Amino acid sequence: MSVAQCSWSDVAAGWDRWRDAIEAGDRDLTEAMLKHVGDVPGREVLELAAGAGELAARLAERVGPDGRVVASDEAEGMVGLLIRRLAGLPNVEVARADACAIPSADATYDVVVCRMGLMLVAEPPAAAAEMHRVLKPGGRLVAAVWAEAAANPWLASVGMAAMMHGLVAGGPPTGPGGPFSLADRDALHRLVENAGFADVTVEPCIGERHYSGTEQLVEMGTSLAPPLHAALARATPEQRATLEETVRQLTSAYADGAGLDLPTKAWIVTAVA
């Protein structure tokens, strides 16, 4: 289930539709990342894989009128979301950028931020090296990736059900470009250190995502992840119903009268160039 083989532009509408729910689910992660970014008035900040632009807007508040945020994404459809979300913010620029070939000069930025993008690139070592290259000496990296699948049933349950019923082909989501490809804490630390960074730390961030029920969980999962979106577009009503029932069984331990409260676990990696 390699995300790298699918188009993020195909799910841009889903990211726009579920913007508020995504940010609510990522609240703890976002606050933790901003804490690591720290006070950056007047600084130059690059966000890679900026998605729908909510974090970029928060970063723009941090840098203030004398600073600059470049909010970037590789997918053209996601760049369109960024333009619409961030229009009117004078200290924000939107750019299309491949994390493995960042179109910026050496030592351009004070901070590079990447929330849930590093594990999705085809070549994480190349992306980490590029992040190091564009940072000024002493500049800071703040990135986040998902930890192990078992600690993230909000995503793993839908992907597992799709694989069980033959709706998704290919390797497991732990392979290159998959959402859990950088789930190993030690390997993540080595990846960043080998790119030339110093003072590398990898810390867990535990959170929770609330869903009204199984239908919303499946709808969001299949609206936001390109492989699942493609799979459900081809599915029959019977296959979708079977998928939802399997997800319901996989997440039953987290259900109560108010819906589903599913745990999340991420790794936040910080380092100095």
* pLDDT tens digit sequence for 63-83: 999 999 999 999 999 999 999
- Res 257: pLDDT: 85
Residue 94 · residue 83 · CB < 8 Å = yes
pLDDT for res 127: 98
Q: Do 168 and 227 touch, CB atoms closer than 8 A?
A: yes
Of the listed ranges 24-38, 47-61, 161-175, the least confidently predicted one is 161-175
* Distance (Å) of CA 191 to CA 17, 196, 203: 34, 9, 15
Which ranges of the chain would DSSP assign to H, the alpha helix?
Answer: 12-17, 19-25, 27-37, 54-63, 76-86, 124-134, 153-164, 185-194, 214-224, 226-234, 237-250
Q: Which two tokens stand for residue 110?
A: 């004070």
Rounded mean pLDDT, 195-201: 98
Stated pTM of the model? 0.94
Contact present, 77 and 106 (Cβ < 8 Å): no
270 or 225: which carries more pLDDT confidence? 270
Give the CATH number of the domain where residue 137 resides: 3.40.50.150
Examine residue 80 and state whether it is found in any structural domain, yes or no. Answer: yes
- Predicted confidence at residue 169, as pLDDT, reads 72
Q: How confident is the model at residue 170 (pLDDT cuts 50, 70, 90)?
A: low
Decide if 227 is inside a domain: no
Among residues 206, 158, 144, the alpha carbon closest in space to that of 1 is found at: 158
Number of domains in the chain: 1
**pLDDT tens digit string along 230-253?**
888 888 999 999 999 999 999 999
| Angle ∠(88,92,94) on CA atoms, nearest 5 | 100
| Beta strand spans in 97-134 (E) | 109-115
Average pLDDT on 10-27 reads: 93
* DSSP state for residue 204 in the 8-state scheme: E
Most confident of 163-167, 172-176, 257-261: 257-261
* CA distances in angstroms from 98 to 109, 110, 235, 269, listed in the order given: 16, 19, 32, 20
Is 75 a member of any domain? yes
In a domain, 258, yes or no: no
In this prediction, residue 234 carries a pLDDT of 84
Does residue 73 lie within any of the structural domains?
A: yes
Contact 72, 94 (CB under 8 A): yes
Residue 93, classified by CB atoms within 10 Å of its CB into exposed (0-12), middle (13-18) or buried (19+), is middle
Instruction: Give the rounded percent of residues in the chain with a pLDDT score beyond 90.
Output: 84
Q: Is residue 22 part of a domain?
A: yes
Q: By percentage, how much of the chain surpasses pLDDT 70?
A: 97
Please tell me the distance from the alpha carbon of residue 27 to that of residue 207, in angstroms, as a whole number: 8
The pLDDT score that the predictor gives to residue 171 is 62
**Structural domain range at position 116:** 7-148+172-210+264-272
Is the pLDDT assigned to residue 11 strictly greater than 50?
yes
Residue 239: inside a domain: no
Q: How many CB atoms neighbour CB 197 within 10 A?
A: 23
97 falls in which pLDDT band (50, 70, 90)?
Answer: very high
Q: Mapping DSSP to helix (H, G, I), strand (E, B) and coil, where does residue 45 land?
A: strand
